[in-house]
Amino acid sequence: MDLLDIFDTTLRDGEQSPGFSMNKEEKLRLARQIEELGADIIEAGFPIASPGDLDATRAVAAEIKHSRVAALARARQEDVDAALRGLEPAQKPRLHVFLATSDLHLKYKLRIGRGQALEQISEMVRFGRRHCDEVEFSAEDASRTEIDYLCQTVMAAVDSGATIINLPDTVGYSTPDDYAEMFRKVRAFLGADSPVVLSAHCHDDLGLALANSLAAIDAGVRQIECTVNGIGERAGNASLEELAVALHVRNNRYPVRTRIQLEKLYPTSRLLSTITGVSVPPNKAVVGANAFAHEAGIHQDGILKNPLTYEIILPEKVGVPARRLVLGKHSGRNAFRARLGELGFETTDAELAECYRLAILRADEEKEITDRDLVTIIHQVRRSRAAVPATSGSATPVP
Ligand code: KIV
Ligand code: ZN
């Protein structure tokens, strides 16, 4: 099975989004965790952005030994110089040079022509390659770049020494078919036996970042750029945890392997939330609070009989401490019986029926029945049943 490189850009693209800025210590803490998680490449920062980011990139580069450390630079001398300074202490450095290639960006943002862009790419990749063993080139806005010109930019970068070519869907505009097609054309242009690694980098503006990344894998891409919790510019990047779990659960469909330690996904997600103070939405796949929570009675019944009925991966496999059977108005009797049992109350059928009736009444008001509510209700039921002669069974003592 082919190995797929995971390029984590939480500390760079992720950090660029509002509310996610991190200082040196925070970046270091997260970088250590992402290395443990098994990312092949950690993009530590964009050193030209600020002296602090240069410093943080150097600190990450000095400490991270197993993962490769990347630093980003536009195809400009001062950027490349700063990125190289950031990478100086790295054991395994990667210089990441980018330039926009779509006519829209060339004309309105950079105000340069296609020819000049080709020159800048060649010059900066060649310079970078003289000072760093590994250079990646990204054609910003690749998915909206005219394909023949895109191939010319790829050729310029490869001829100048880039060995990884990243073709980002910078504005999240692509569909899976379009994106895969672009990679197939570029791969055909490079030739099937070219050693160049193609890389995908997807933004989630249309909610397609993961689907586009998977389509890119189908088209032969062997590096995916992604972030913890899917943070990143605007709607974010492809989420690392979703990608890793999709490749695990649907390995029959995507036969590639990664070095990601699945059970570290949830702790890594939690660490990012703790550091930044930004929590993930409850319905977020894999790491959201509801990703392994079940409220509907039919689902709870299935889960209690066999978790695979309503879970495609077990919570412990991704480091989530436990699934939650949420007690609310949609819940069934079996879930109440199970929760009461976990709380130490073995109930008779009559007790359970009364407890269930009162809990459902309460759930209409409270939305969710907490353990405390449940204990109050079972005590209430037992008190009222003790007050009248018992007709069926007797209550088991509370431990
Ligand atoms: O989205 C993008 O195009 C980028 C590049 C700088 C890689 O983040
Ligand atoms: Zn990006």
Residue 286 lies in a domain: no
Q: What is the pLDDT of residue 357?
A: 96
CA-CA distance, 266 to 262, in Å (whole number)? 8
Task: Provide the residue range defining the domain that includes 377.
Answer: 293-387
For residue 398, what is the DSSP state? Answer: P
Q: Could you tell me where the DSSP H helices lie in the chain?
A: 24-37, 51-63, 77-87, 103-104, 114-131, 147-159, 176-190, 209-218, 240-249, 265-276, 297-305, 333-342, 349-366, 371-387
Q: From 307, 339, 309, select the one nearest 326 (Cα to Cα).
A: 339
Residue nearest to atom 5 of ligand 1 (CA): 140
Task: Look at residue 268 and tell me if it is in a domain.
Answer: yes
Domain boundary residue among 224, 242, 276? 276
Asked if 272 and 297 sit in the same domain, the reply is: no
Q: Mark whether 167 and 87 lie in a shared domain.
A: yes
Q: Is residue 241 part of a domain?
A: yes
Claim to verify: residue 50 and residue 108 sit in the same structural domain: yes
Pocket test for ligand 1, best of 95, 98, 144, 225 (most atoms within 8 A of CB): 98
In tens, the pLDDT along 9-42 reads 999 999 999 999 999 999 999 999 999 999 999 9
Residues 266, 301: one domain?
no
Cβ–Cβ under 8 Å, residues 42 and 8: yes
What lies within 8 Å, CB to CB, of 308 at 6+ separation is none
| CA-closest candidate to residue 38, choices 78, 9, 81, 8 | 8
Q: Does residue 392 surpass a pLDDT of 80?
A: no
Q: Could you tell me if 170 and 215 lie in one domain?
A: yes
Give how many domains the chain has, as a whole number: 2
CA-based torsion, 216, 203, 146, 137: positive or negative: negative
Q: How far apart are the first and last CA of the chain?
A: 53
Are 271 and 369 in a shared domain?
Answer: no
Asked whether residue 141 falls in the same domain as residue 12, the answer is: yes
Residue at 120 is within a domain? yes
281 belongs to a structural domain: no
Side chain identity at 297, as an amino acid letter?
G
Ligand nearest 140 Cα, by number?
1
For 313, counting Cβ atoms within 10 Å of its Cβ (0-12 exposed, 13-18 middle, 19+ buried), the class is: middle
Q: What is the Å distance from ligand 2's center to 203 Cα? A: 6
Same domain assignment for residues 145 and 228: yes
313 occurs within a structural domain: yes
For residue range 158-191, list pLDDT tens digits in order. Answer: 999 999 999 999 999 999 999 999 999 999 999 9
The reply to whether 250 and 302 lie within a common domain is no
Phi, psi of 398 (to 5 degrees): -80, 130
Pocket of ligand 1 (CB under 6 A): 13, 98, 138, 140, 166, 168, 170, 201, 203
152 and 256, same domain (yes or no): yes
CB 345, CB 398: distance < 8 Å: yes
Residue 366 binned pLDDT confidence (cut-offs 50, 70, 90):
confident
What CATH number did the domain enclosing 112 receive? 3.20.20.70
Residues with CB under 5 A from ligand 2 (ion): 13
Give me the mean pLDDT over the 293-310 stretch: 96
